[in-house]
Structure 1
Amino acid sequence: MTHEIALFLKFGSEKNIRDLYENGTVFINTIEQHRKTNDDFLRGDKYEGASRIVNSLPGKFKIPGITKEFNYKRVHLIESYQEVIGNIYSLYCISSHGFSQPDIFELDERNQRFGTHCLMIKDIKYFLEAVETELTRIGFNFHHGFVNYYDKNKESKELNVFEKPLEYQYQKEFRFYVENEIVEPIKINIGSLERYSEIFQMKEVLDLKLSSKIN
């Protein structure tokens, strides 16, 4: 299914948002950094880069050489590589993927924790092409798309880099995943965004209302 994107929102400090607005500076952090950060379901996510999650029902097991049988209530396992390589760039996305109707749009107040300011990106096609062109010019392979959210306490499944636990669903994330063999941030410049974006303070964005429908 093809989804229509209405707007991208990028949250951050006034300094970083103005740098993006005026200079087109795009900072693409490492997956490792997101895994190691502990900030109460904001940027940090220990499940980031996990390859598989397992939730088992209650059951019994035996240990070889011991006749006694043991019971367990449930098992919750995360399979992941010791070090996950690659970088991600995240945007809040107002789209038909996350919202059935724009007139019911409401920004979750928890997003205020990302910073004091927001850049509203209006020309989605132009922005995506600018980032794609610069990453290709430098020589990076990349993918982008919507993040899908899953219940980490109930589901058992193979995971990919575009899946996150339900706790992060309020972020309505669209992300770039950049293949990178070196565990270090990537910074690119795509030129000024002044012609097709607008800066707001976060308190103003909390009152944002949309009037046109997303089909």
Structure 2
Amino acid sequence: MSSYIELKNISQSFDVNESKVTLFNALNLSVSQGQSYAITGPSGAGKSSLLMLMSGLEQPSSGQGFYVKGSQRKSLDFLREDIGFIFQQFHLLPELTAVNNVALPLKLRGDKQAHDKATAWLQKVGLSHRINHKPSELSGGEQQRVAIARALVFEPSFIFADEPTGNLDQQSATEIADILFSCCRENNAGLIVVTHSEALANRAQHIFSLSGGQIKAQSKVQTNDVLKAVSC
């Protein structure tokens, strides 16, 4: 069953020192399961805020968001069970091993196969030899692989990634992009990535630029990059 997220006339503003700051106003945007999207733009444009609104984790100042699944049209509150989130800072629990970090979302849902599924996903992202290591014992690229496995372990319909390669060196960033796009494609998950990286943005099927409170579709930059297929 395919699904999509629709934002209609979404605005976001907040008060700073008795002044009102508007990030964006009356935005309209839709993203579909099985497609990949990049959101680019200058710092402070509101990219991360838009990602949080789109995922249903924050509420807009005005406007509405909808989660359409088959013939059902619901508010974005119903989307939370069907999303995974990947952050720039990894947000792994330091006291847990890699496998327990990945298994945690499943355990919270009462899944008795949580450990086995977590182990399988760590194997898919190339970390079968590191499952019993804690985050402090892993490199930045390895920690982000754990974060990807954690986000995808319950096979969500949509994955939201906020600067997923922002803290990584070029080689690690490329490897993470390979894994992220391949895993989402093979699992038919919609992927929405906020990034400053032109190379990462060009991996997406659709690119949107957020600037000056408005969002616009953007053409891809032609590159000679070879996209590496990763089995997931």
Q: TM-score, normalised by structure 2?
A: 0.24
Determine which structure has the larger helix proportion and give its number.
2
- Bigger radius of gyration: 1
**More relative contact order in 1 or in 2 (CA 8 Å, sep 6+)?**
1
